[in-house]
Amino acid sequence: MAIGEPMKIRAALAGDQTEVKVLMNHEMETGQRKDAQGQTIPAWFIQSVMATWNGKAVLSAQWGTAIAKNPFLSFKFKGGAKGDKILIHWVDSRGDQRTDEAVIA
């Protein structure tokens, strides 16, 4: 299994909430486009995304082809403290996956 390109994750405490912003590196091919030879470019996209805070799931999502290339994901959850670990994990339609982590600032 290939390992995707690194994500960029920022997590910051705002009051009693933690705001997480993630930039992912992915082609997100819809399967609708054709190349210069007229051949369909096969679909290839992130299918599932999981975010954990100190090992506990805070977001889980199933994605499709309507998500843009190089997706940007932003979400908030209640709780979190400075120094806590946020882990983002995705799996795409080819079975490639990637996990990156960040520390709440």
Partner 1 sequence: MTRLSWLAALAGMACASLASAQTSTTDEIAKYRAALQDGNPAELWEARGEALWKAKRGPKQVTFEGCDVGKGPGVVKGAYAELPRYFADADRVMDLETRLVWCMVRLQGYSEADAKKNPFGNGSDKRSDLEALTAYVTSESRGVKMNVALGHPKEVEAYRVGEKLFYYRGGTHDFACATCHGEDGKRIRLQDLPNLMKTEGAQKAYTTWPAYRVSQGELRTFEWRLYDCFRQQRFPELVYDSDAAIALTTYLAHNANGGVYDGPGIKR
User: Could you list the residues that contact partner 1 (CB under 8 A)?
Assistant: 5-6, 8, 21, 23, 25, 27, 68-70, 72, 74
Cβ closest to partner 1, residue 69 vs residue 85: 69
Least CB distance from residue 72 to partner 1, whole Å?
Answer: 3
Least CB distance from residue 55 to partner 1, whole Å?
Answer: 26
Least CB distance from residue 80 to partner 1, whole Å?
Answer: 19
Cβ closest to partner 1, residue 6 vs residue 64: 6
Cβ closest to partner 1, residue 55 vs residue 95: 95
| Torsion sign (Cα): 54, 56, 59, 60 | positive
Could you give the angle at the alpha carbon of 25 between the alpha carbons of 23 and 30, nearest 5°? 110
Cβ closest to partner 1, residue 2 vs residue 55: 2
**Under DSSP, is residue 72 helix (H, G, I), strand (E, B) or coil?**
strand
| Torsion sign (Cα): 13, 14, 17, 23 | negative
How far is Cα 53 from Cα 87, in angstroms, rounded to an integer?
A: 7
